Amino acid sequence: MEDCLFCKISAGEMDTDFVYQDDQVVVFEDINPQAPVHLLIVPKKHIADLNNLQPADNELIGHIYQVAKKMAAEYDIAESGYRLVSNCGDDGCQSVYHIHFHLLGGRKLQWPPG
């Protein structure tokens, strides 16, 4: 997607400091953090939102969860706890229509979230 912000970021077309990357995902700090640790895990494959996931994407989603687990350990929030969130659609507050996951932690998170 030529005009997709996260496609440009994941392709390295924008000046973004990745804290992790591999052949499937990039991870970087959110520009508007909502917790002491707030990372975005973004697949390199463009998928607009959760409603557009296909069975062929199951391995990618599993990989994203493994990356989240790895990053939680590296940021020392695995033991205390963290939240992994993916917003979907306007009412779900999705602001960039490229599937991505927010890894939040480093403080006691509130419930319900919204």
Note whether residue 47 is domain-resident: yes
Which residue range(s) make up the domain with 72? 5-105
Note whether residue 15 is domain-resident: yes
Note whether residue 30 is domain-resident: yes
- The end-to-end CA distance of the chain, in Å, is 30
Note whether residue 65 is domain-resident: yes
98 is catalytic: no
What is the average per-residue pLDDT within 43-61?
97
Note whether residue 27 is domain-resident: yes
Q: Model confidence at 105, in pLDDT bands (50, 70, 90)?
A: very high
Residue with tokens 């706890």: 81
Note whether residue 113 is domain-resident: no
**Diameter of the chain by CA atoms?**
40
Q: What is the pLDDT of residue 11?
A: 93
What is the average per-residue pLDDT within 35-48?
98
Give the single-character DSSP code of 110.
P
Instruction: Look up the pTM and report it.
Output: 0.95
Number of domains, the chain: 1
Note whether residue 112 is domain-resident: no
DSSP state string for 59-86: HHHHHHHHHHHHHHHHTT-TTT-EEEE-
Q: What is the pLDDT of residue 112?
A: 86
Note whether residue 110 is domain-resident: no
Task: State yes or no: pLDDT of 91 exceeds 70.
Answer: yes
Catalytic residue among 46, 63, 98, 100: 100
CATH of the domain at 87: 3.30.428.10
How far is residue 103's CA from residue 45's CA, in Å, rounded to a whole number? 19
